[in-house]
């Protein structure tokens, strides 16, 4: 696979630009040939420079990382409805803290910066390439079916692109758009390549690559390499009730482990001549399948005695280039909300970048977002504040990762360049997370979790 990626990148870099290749006259008119489909395919490139630094509480380890990467993706033109796509990416660790060493006070490993490189092998600084796309796609009418390696975006399985590279998936994916106002999406996934890794794993084998916390009885979770599953089935229906109201229903079924159902509706309603009211509601239900992955509680992923109910609501007001949102999430005390962090980030309205409520039950979360665009939308800015009331860190039944209650302040600004720098985009993300819970003077409940600052500076160039 490594050699295939190298060959692809070499060929793509030296592939003649459209219009430069010399095609015999008889081939120029044969637009239905396979050769034409390959020669008239599209190539897209991406360079990314990422600086991240985490400032933990006093006497705890601080970290930084500077990563640079580049990649290419090629896709043929349609030939009798079929297309072939292939793409890969390289990453270089330009400079970083020593990510192989745990914090001397707590024994806890780095949480954030390692995600820029290789989560499974923190010492890996050179062998950081991955074949991310390798698929065949069949287009018909307004729909398509695709098989192979690809990057998907569903409410729970998604790129979670807060690091150098996204999460990738392998399997079947289909999108049907033949019904009026309705989009139907179906998939069967067998392999995952989590963000911050360079390999592809069977779905069940990918669980536990990230820290796994504790089981509901307080013992260390030991489900890594102990779960069995044939794959993950996904079904989603998005129905546009009107131009302003959208309804979504999704089911993520992880065979032999657990099932997650999402019901969500979002509205964007005119309010006066210039303003709009934004509103949304979501409900999530989860349950174990069989024993949740393993008959031994210490080795299972989803405790079969628990069921999860989540309610979410959003209301806001939008006028011209400004928008203000108020969000609320309630995870009931019936069980922990679980979904593999290796697969994607959660779709909760109260989600803020760099933290999650996955692994928690009995949660009340409140957030406020203010969004503003400037300079003909060249600048996009967002300020967000969240308050998260979660169970005590010793309540293992409802607190998988030992996370105390906390607040979070995010400031995010993006700038899109134009003119001779078209294709370049810059982003700054700063966050602060003060503690609001009892940590029992144990620093393992603090490091990389609360009383920390983080700064992210990102440059992307797409061509």
Q: What is the pLDDT of residue 24?
A: 52
Count CA within 13 A, CB hemisphere, residue 397. 10
Within-domain flag for 38: no
Backbone torsions φ then ψ of 412, nearest 5 degrees:
-130, 130
Q: What is the pLDDT of residue 211?
A: 96
Q: Which residues pair with 314 in a beta bridge?
A: 280, 327
Query: Residue 4: enclosing H or E segment and its boundaries?
Result: helix 2-13
Within-domain flag for 68: yes
Backbone torsions φ then ψ of 231, nearest 5 degrees:
160, -170
Report how far residue 84's alpha carbon sits from residue 62's, in angstroms, rounded to the nearest whole number: 44
User: What does each of the 463 residues of the chain score in pLDDT, given as a tens digit?
Assistant: 555 455 455 445 445 444 444 545 454 547 889 999 999 999 999 999 999 999 999 999 999 999 999 999 999 999 999 999 999 999 999 999 999 999 999 999 999 999 999 999 999 988 899 999 999 999 999 999 999 999 999 999 999 888 999 999 999 999 999 999 999 999 999 999 999 999 999 999 999 999 999 999 999 999 999 999 999 999 999 999 988 999 999 999 999 999 999 999 999 999 988 899 999 999 999 999 999 999 999 999 999 999 999 999 999 999 999 999 999 999 999 999 999 999 999 999 999 999 999 999 999 999 999 999 998 889 999 999 999 999 999 999 999 999 999 999 999 999 999 999 999 999 999 999 999 999 999 999 999 999 999 999 999 999 9
Within-domain flag for 127: yes
Which CATH number do you get for residue 229?
A: 2.40.160.10
Distance, C-alpha 110 to centroid of its chain: 19
Q: What is the pLDDT of residue 19?
A: 45
Ramachandran sector of residue 160 (left: φ over 0; alpha: ψ -120 to 50; beta: rest) = left
The vertex-340 CA angle with 343 and 72, nearest 5°, equals 15
Neighbours of 364 (CB within 10 A): 14
Within-domain flag for 16: no
Backbone torsions φ then ψ of 75, nearest 5 degrees:
-140, 130
Number of domains into which the chain is organized: 1
In the block, tokens 């600052």 appear at: 453
Neighbours of 110 (CB within 10 A): 23
Query: Residue 6: enclosing H or E segment and its boundaries?
Result: helix 2-13
Report how far residue 374's alpha carbon sits from residue 216's, in angstroms, rounded to the nearest whole number: 48
Q: State pTM to two decimals.
A: 0.92
Within-domain flag for 209: yes
398: containing domain: 45-462
């Amino acid at each position: 696979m490594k050699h295939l990626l190298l060959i692809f990148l070499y060929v793509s870099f030296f592939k003649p630009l459209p219009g430069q290749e010399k095609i015999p006259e008889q081939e120029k008119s044969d637009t239905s040939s396979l050769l034409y489909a390959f020669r008239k395919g599209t190539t897209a490139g991406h360079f990314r420079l990422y600086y991240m630094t985490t400032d933990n509480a006093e006497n705890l380890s601080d970290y930084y990382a500077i990563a640079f990467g580049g990649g290419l993706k090629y896709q043929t033109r349609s030939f009798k409805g079929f297309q072939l796509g292939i793409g890969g990416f390289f990453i270089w660790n330009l400079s970083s803290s020593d990510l192989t060493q745990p914090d001397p006070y707590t024994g806890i490993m780095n949480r954030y910066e390692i995600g820029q490189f290789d989560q499974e092998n923190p010492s890996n600084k050179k062998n950081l390439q991955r074949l991310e796309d390798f698929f065949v796609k069949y287009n018909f009418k307004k729909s398509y079916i695709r098989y192979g390696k690809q990057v998907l975006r569903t409410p729970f399985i998604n790129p979670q692109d807060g690091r150098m590279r996204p999460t990738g998936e392998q399997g079947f994916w289909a999108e049907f758009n033949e019904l009026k106002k309705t989009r139907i999406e179906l998939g069967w996934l067998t392999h995952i390549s989590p963000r911050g890794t360079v390999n592809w794993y069977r779905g069940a084998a990918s669980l536990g690559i990230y820290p796994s916390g504790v089981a509901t009885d307080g013992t260390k979770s030991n489900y890594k390499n102990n779960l069995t599953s044939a794959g993950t089935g996904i079904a989603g229906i998005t129905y546009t009730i009107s131009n302003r109201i959208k309804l979504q229903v999704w089911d993520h079924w992880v065979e032999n482990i657990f099932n997650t159902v999402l019901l969500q509706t979002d509205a964007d309603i005119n309010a006066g001549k210039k303003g709009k009211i934004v509103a949304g509601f979501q409900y999530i239900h989860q349950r174990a399948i069989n024993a949740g992955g393993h008959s031994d509680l210490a080795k299972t992923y989803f405790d079969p005695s628990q069921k999860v109910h989540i309610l979410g609501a959003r209301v806001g007001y939008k006028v011209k280039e400004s928008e203000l949102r108020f969000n609320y999430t309630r995870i009931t005390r019936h069980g922990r909300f679980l979904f593999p962090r290796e697969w994607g980030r959660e779709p909760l309205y109260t989600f803020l970048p760099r933290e999650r409520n996955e692994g928690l039950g009995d949660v009340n979360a409140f957030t406020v977002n203010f969004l503003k665009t400037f300079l003909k939308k060249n600048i996009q800015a967002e300020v967000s504040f969240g308050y998260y009331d979660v169970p005590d860190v010793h309540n293992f039944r409802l607190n998988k990762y030992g996370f105390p209650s906390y607040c979070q302040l995010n400031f995010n600004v993006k700038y899109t360049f134009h003119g001779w720098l078209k294709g370049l985009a810059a982003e700054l993300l700063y966050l602060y997370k003060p503690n609001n819970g009892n940590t029992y003077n144990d620093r393992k409940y603090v490091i990389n979790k609360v009383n920390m600052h983080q700064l992210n500076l990102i440059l992307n160039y797409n061509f």
